[in-house]
């Protein structure tokens, strides 16, 4: 019988612990990304923020999946000068937070990973190859690996490395992912898969979120038991009621709650509100990489986050072009914690 990660002594560490690398997938499909040149530019800006050293801290190595040799050549040119390794792999889209495995560590400093069942965000966006990437990355690294029969995505999960896990009922209990499973059953599966001790439940996410409401758009840990959420920017904020509800839920869960202002109303090409969130940031070794949306609240959010992460440089990345197709910075990254040296296959 295969042990669970928790039984084997592994858990997901906090994102602010040191990383050996960041896993990403190069955008090269013009059908999925109509504004491909702008998307690649935003993606490269993000990668440079992650890979660059600042304030005496080292940047992160980038492990970059590319679809084919042509995509590899383009990616190598765009990311020239960075510590990057490229791996040809079949994948559908670039949402590595959701399709890559979740990395785990134990008290001995060893690395492992867990792979959730991926079903295209409840069957809404099914792209050939995405369901195989978790196993592909595990194979490249040659890691001890765990699997669970729970259908979920990495963006739906947030851990503080000290025993707490957050998720939303709108995703983890959705019939399009785990039909017939009770909240208690899903909670037990999450604890076993992530090595956590307690699940904090938030009811819902943001309006028009392609994912049904991922937690990394609504609440993020910034310390052990310390959580960051957003307050409505103004009366026009399409998520005003949801944001207030989320803050109340987190306070009721006895967490240390800090808030920043939301981006407010950000409209997409179709004139509908986008699920814009400053919380979809990536905590890199030397920086905190934050999506921006051309909102009047961008600068305020960057300043607030800089105050929360004084040892890192907060960098904004124009991300509206990414969000038009489903997500931003945190959605397209997956951190690999720093442990002993690993030999990665080609």
Indicate which residues carry an active-site annotation. 331
Measured CA to CA, the distance from residue 199 to residue 190 in angstroms comes to 8
DSSP secondary structure of 79-114: TTTS-EEEEE---SS--HHHHSPEEEEETTS-EEEE
Residue linked to tokens 């383009």 = 74
Give the DSSP H or E segment for 337. Answer: strand 334-337
- The C-alpha torsion from 86 through 92 and 94 to 95, rounded to 10°, is -130
Beta pairing class for 256-261 and 102-106:
unpaired
The Cα angle at residue 298 between residues 286 and 267, in degrees rounded to 5? 125
Give the closest residue to 284 by CA, choosing from 51, 25, 34, 41. 51
Sign of the torsion formed by the C-alpha atoms of 41, 47, 51 and 57? positive
Q: How far is CA 184 from CA 9, 65, 191, 254, 257, in A?
A: 22, 36, 11, 20, 25
Burial class (CB in 10 A: 0-12, 13-18, 19+), 214: buried
Tokens of residue 317, six digits: 């990345």
């Amino acid at each position: 019988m295969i042990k669970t990660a928790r039984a084997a002594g592994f858990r997901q560490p906090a994102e602010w612990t040191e990383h050996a690398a960041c896993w990403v997938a190069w955008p090269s499909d013009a059908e999925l990304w109509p504004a491909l040149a702008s998307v690649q530019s935003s993606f490269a800006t993000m990668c440079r923020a992650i890979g660059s050293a600042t304030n005496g801290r080292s940047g992160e190595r980038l492990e970059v999946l590319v679809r084919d040799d042509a995509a590899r050549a383009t990616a190598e040119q765009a990311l020239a000068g960075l510590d990057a390794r490229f791996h040809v792999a079949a994948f559908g889209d670039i949402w590595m937070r959701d399709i890559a495995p979740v990395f785990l560590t134990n008290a001995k400093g060893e690395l492992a990973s867990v792979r959730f069942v991926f079903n295209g965000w409840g069957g809404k966006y099914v792209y050939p190859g995405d369901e195989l990437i978790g196993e592909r990355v595990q194979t490249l690294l040659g890691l001890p690996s765990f699997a669970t029969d729970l259908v979920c995505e990495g963006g739906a999960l947030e851990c503080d490395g000290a025993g707490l896990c957050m998720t939303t009922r709108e995703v983890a209990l959705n019939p399009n992912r785990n039909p017939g499973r009770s909240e208690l059953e899903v909670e037990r599966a999450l604890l076993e898969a992530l090595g956590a001790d307690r699940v904090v439940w938030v009811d819902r996410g943001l309006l028009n979120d392609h994912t049904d409401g991922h937690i990394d758009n609504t609440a993020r840990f910034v310390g052990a038991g310390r959580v960051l959420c957003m307050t409505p920017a103004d009366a026009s904020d399409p998520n005003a009621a949801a944001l207030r509800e989320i803050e109340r839920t987190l306070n009721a869960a006895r967490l240390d709650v800090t808030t920043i202002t939301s981006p407010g109303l950000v409209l997409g090409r179709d004139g509908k509100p986008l699920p814009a969130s400053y919380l979809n940031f990536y905590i890199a070794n030397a920086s905190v990489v934050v999506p921006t949306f051309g909102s009047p609240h961008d600068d305020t959010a960057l300043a607030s986050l800089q105050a929360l992460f004084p040892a890192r440089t907060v960098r904004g990345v124009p991300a509206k072009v990414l969000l038009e197709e489903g997500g931003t910075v945190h959605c397209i990254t997956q951190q690999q914690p720093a442990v002993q040296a690993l030999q990665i296959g080609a």
